[in-house]
Amino acid sequence: MSSPNKPVLIFQGGWDGHQPVQCAELIAGKLTDRGLQVEVVDSLTCLEDEAKLKSYALIVPLWTCGTLTGPQENNLVNAVISGVGIAGFHGGMGDAFRGSINYQWMTGGQFLGHPDNIKDYTIRIVDRDDPITKGIPDFKVCSEQYYMLVDPRNEVLAVTTHQSLSAPWTNGVEMPFVWKKVHGTGRVFYSASGHQCREFLDYPEQLEITLRGMVWAAR
Q: Would you write out the chain's pLDDT as a tens digit for each of its 219 residues?
A: 444 468 999 999 999 999 999 999 999 999 999 999 999 999 999 999 999 999 999 999 999 999 999 999 999 999 999 999 999 999 999 999 999 999 999 999 999 999 999 999 999 999 999 999 999 999 999 999 999 999 999 999 999 999 999 999 999 999 999 999 999 999 999 999 999 999 999 999 999 999 999 999 999
Q: What CATH architecture is 6-110+176-217?
A: 3-Layer(aba) Sandwich (3.40)
Residue 162 in contact with residue 177, Cβ under 8 Å?
Answer: no
**Helix residue ranges, H only, the chain:** 20-33, 50-53, 70-82, 90-94, 101-107, 198-202, 204-217
Provide CB contacts within 8 A for 35, sequence distance 6+.
2, 3, 4, 5, 6
φ/ψ of residue 175, rounded to 5: -100, 125
Pairing status of strand 58-64 against strand 85-89: parallel
Residue 180: strand pairing partners = 155, 189
Q: How many CB atoms lie within 10 A of CB 135?
A: 9
Residue 152 in contact with residue 168, Cβ under 8 Å?
Answer: no
Residue 90 in contact with residue 191, Cβ under 8 Å?
Answer: yes
pTM score of the predicted model: 0.97
